[in-house]
Chain A
Amino acid sequence: MKVKKRTPKIILTIIFIYLLLPIVATFLYSISTSWINTVLPEGLTFKWYAQLVFNPEFLNVVLRSLVLSIFTTILGLVIFVPVIFYMNIYNQKLKAKMRYITMLPFIIPGIILVTGLIQLYKDIPIPKIVILVMVLSVMSLPLVYQTLNNVFISKDFKSMFEQSQLLGYGPVKSFMFVIVPNIKTGLIVSTLLLFSAGLGDYVITNLFLGGNYITLKIYMYRLMAVNGNAGSVLTIIYFIMLSILSAILIRTTSKAKKG
């Protein structure tokens, strides 16, 4: 039995080290004073971190990314949650048809979608950033749909919703005060998925807005060419942000499974 367990452990350790190698190298690079001709960095320092964090441009970049992520999240939640609820409870036919639509963003990569977006909106005087927020929320629809769908089939939300209305709440109140508290996990997961979609997009944001709205990833791409140290610091900061989001995500879903 012991030998049987050793092989999987070795395999996973190798995969783990392989996957983390670039991050470890980037981290070491980000805290080294200079690393040109030696086995290990010549000295360790946090000055690249200080330099980047105190750069006003960096603050702007973070703010821009946050604005994009927050609006994407709000739009996605406000529209997707009630619609997926409605389809699950009252309109199964529509739900069957919607399945294909919700898969579309999975099949159509960003680089294709952006080709159409550029053409469609090149002469229409709507601020492109508004369209971008809409696009990013729809891009995370497949995962959000799946998450919420699983939540809505887990309990009898239909009678919950109807009983609440029999007891005197209106539909809006019933939804907000009876349904929403019961789908907290699904909402948290959806929020994280939408937020990550806003934070992690590069292709659509860069090509659709023509590089005029500099988010974290676009800034990172620009730093890559001019300043390796600052770029590695930014990569690490981005990695930490993703780690936090990912940890909350898994924590929430596993807690829900257990209890």
Chain B
Amino acid sequence: MKMSLKNRFLLLFVLLICLVLIFPIGVMIISSFNSQDGSWGLMNYQELFTNHYYRNAIGHSLTLSLSASLFSEVIAILGAWSLTKMSSSVKESLVTIFNLASSFAGVPLAFSLIILLGNSGVLHVISKSLDINILGSINVYSWLGIVIAYSFFEIPLGILFLYPTFEEIDQGWKEASDTLGVSNCFFLKKVIYPVLVPGLVETLIILFANAMGTYETVFALTGNNITFISTIIGSLIGGEITSNIPLAGALSVVFGLVMIALVIMGNLLVRTKRITEGK
């Protein structure tokens, strides 16, 4: 009875994972080799890599995700470092706020950004009535606008991921190396660098992957008008005239492979770092 009960739960768990993760991904991979008229082959992949429209979208996704994640990472580094200097009660409330901000992504974020920065948004109205240009050339629906939009959830996310790494750096280390007569440069290179770099790389990869996977925020801001991998998949499966699910499958497979490559790369980087550290 004891065994069977355990097994029953395990079976349910495995079944659940298969039904909503393994099987759908499997079906998607298989059908990505299928064309809409029923023949089999690599035509969807061929289409993706020869058609400029899709190649551009892949390029857009990569460059935008890179800009957004780098921008957010830089600010998150400053934020995480500053956070370690605060008293523990301030830390706690700030962590709550960052946690909240990182989950306030998607439709609500897009909507509040339109209210803040949009064509008839609050800042626009204020600058019009004061007759000065607060906004400059920021346009929420543009490239820069999307980088800004992503930064609203990527900065807090980055801070939350980086903060433990910065907490590890002990004030005592600096004092110890000063006592030992170590130069600042050596201290940075041999003490701070090995602790910090794995954390920084890991966080950058997480932010990049997060930006790549973002669909909701861009879609709510711009509709399917800006061509990213995610928005194209959205319009290919959205039941519109352009609907082509096998092609969306192929694009998803390419996308998934990029994500897996990223995660593996991140793991390898962090691991080699840790191994050399261990020596």
Q: Are B21 and A113 in contact (CB under 8 A)?
A: yes
CB distance from B15 to the nearest CB of A (A): 9
Of A16, A39, A203, most B-chain CB atoms within 10 Å = A203
Interface residue? B33 (CB, 8 A): no
Q: Are B17 and A22 in contact (CB under 8 A)?
A: no
Interface residue? B85 (CB, 8 A): yes
Known: A119-B245, A207-B237. A22 touches B12 (CB 8 A): no
Q: Are A38 and B129 in contact (CB under 8 A)?
A: yes
Residue of A37, A121, A134, A220 near B125 (CB, 8 A) is: A37
Chain B residue nearest in CB terms to A172: B5
Interface residue? A79 (CB, 8 A): yes
Q: Are B108 and A220 in contact (CB under 8 A)?
A: yes
- Tell me the B83-134 residues at the A interface (CB within 8 Å): 83, 85-86, 92, 94-101, 103-104, 106-116, 120-123, 125-126, 128-130
Known: A109-B213, A115-B252, A116-B27. A242 touches B103 (CB 8 A): yes
Contacts of A172 in B (CB 8 A): 5
Q: Are B99 and A15 in contact (CB under 8 A)?
A: no
Q: Are A196 and B103 in contact (CB under 8 A)?
A: yes
Q: Are A25 and B111 in contact (CB under 8 A)?
A: no
Interface residue? A86 (CB, 8 A): yes
Q: Are A111 and B215 in contact (CB under 8 A)?
A: yes
A contacts with B: majority SS: helix
Q: Are A115 and B96 in contact (CB under 8 A)?
A: no
Contacts of A249 in B (CB 8 A): 96, 99
Interface residue? B66 (CB, 8 A): no
Known: A11-B79, A224-B220. A116 touches B28 (CB 8 A): yes
Residue of B5, B108, B237 near A118 (CB, 8 A) is: B237
Chain A residue nearest in CB terms to B28: A116
Q: Are A120 and B23 in contact (CB under 8 A)?
A: yes
Q: Which one of A57-65, A99-107, A151-159, A176-184 contacts B?
A: A99-107
Contacts of A28 in B (CB 8 A): 122
Question: CA A220 – CA B107 in complex, angstroms?
Answer: 7
Q: Are A131 and B111 in contact (CB under 8 A)?
A: no
Chain A residue nearest in CB terms to B159: A15
Known: A137-B16, A250-B92. 20 other contacts (CB 8 A): A5-B85, A15-B155, A26-B111, A26-B112, A83-B10, A117-B20, A119-B28, A119-B31, A120-B24, A120-B27, A134-B19, A135-B20, A138-B21, A203-B215, A217-B107, A220-B107, A235-B111, A238-B108, A242-B103, A249-B96
Q: Are A246 and B106 in contact (CB under 8 A)?
A: no
Contacts of A90 in B (CB 8 A): 6
Known: A22-B109, A239-B104. A107 touches B115 (CB 8 A): no
CB distance from A177 to the nearest CB of B (A): 16
Chain A residue nearest in CB terms to B121: A25
Chain B residue nearest in CB terms to A101: B17
Q: Are A110 and B213 in contact (CB under 8 A)?
A: yes
Which size class do A's interface residues fall under?
35 or more
Q: Are B112 and A25 in contact (CB under 8 A)?
A: yes
Count A-B pairs with CB separation below 8 Å.
219
10 nearest A-B pairs in the assembled complex, by CB-CB distance: A109-B213, A116-B24, A8-B82, A116-B28, A22-B112, A8-B85, A25-B116, A246-B100, A26-B112, A111-B215
Question: CA A8 – CA B84 in complex, angstroms?
Answer: 9
Chain A residue nearest in CB terms to B109: A22
Interface residue? A80 (CB, 8 A): yes
Contacts of A112 in B (CB 8 A): 28, 213, 233, 252, 255-256
Interface residue? B64 (CB, 8 A): no
Interface residue? B2 (CB, 8 A): yes
Contacts of B159 in A (CB 8 A): 15
Known: A108-B259, A138-B20. A29 touches B5 (CB 8 A): no
Known: A38-B129, A39-B126. A115 touches B212 (CB 8 A): no
Question: CA A134 – CA B12 in complex, angstroms?
Answer: 11
Q: Are A22 and B6 in contact (CB under 8 A)?
A: no
Contacts of A214 in B (CB 8 A): none
Q: Are B237 and A115 in contact (CB under 8 A)?
A: yes
Q: Are B125 and A21 in contact (CB under 8 A)?
A: no
Chain B residue nearest in CB terms to A118: B237
Known: A115-B233, A203-B215. A26 touches B107 (CB 8 A): no
Q: Are A224 and B114 in contact (CB under 8 A)?
A: yes
Q: Are A115 and B248 in contact (CB under 8 A)?
A: yes
Contacts of B20 in A (CB 8 A): 113, 117, 131, 134-135, 138
Question: CA A108 – CA B16 in complex, angstroms?
Answer: 16
Q: Are A232 and B100 in contact (CB under 8 A)?
A: no
CB distance from B116 to the nearest CB of A (A): 4
Q: Are B24 and A119 in contact (CB under 8 A)?
A: yes
